[in-house]
Amino acid sequence: MSKERDELVLREARQIWRFGGAETLQEVAAKGAHMTQTTRISQPAPALATLRFSDVCARYECSPEAEANLRQSRWL
């Protein structure tokens, strides 16, 4: 019996190292993160880079507000 795997492909991905203004990643996906010294968001990966993850545990859809917020790199 084989186990079926979910796969997640990310393009123009950013890494969130830490965030302020939210307690969970679900809240970051809903509202974004504060522009504070505690928030660290990387530049996006090159457009040609694709990250693949198997055995995905969770995936959060971002609200339009959160997406606009999280597209701003912060490394204060």
Tens digits of per-residue pLDDT, 3-58? 555 666 777 788 888 888 878 889 999 999 888 778 888 888 876 666 666 666 77
Q: What are phi and psi of 17, to 5 degrees?
A: -80, -40
Residue 70 CA to its chain's centroid (Å): 8
For residue 1, name the pLDDT band (cuts at 50, 70, 90): very low
Tell me if the pTM is above 0.85: no
pLDDT of residue 68: 92
Residue 73 CA to its chain's centroid (Å): 12
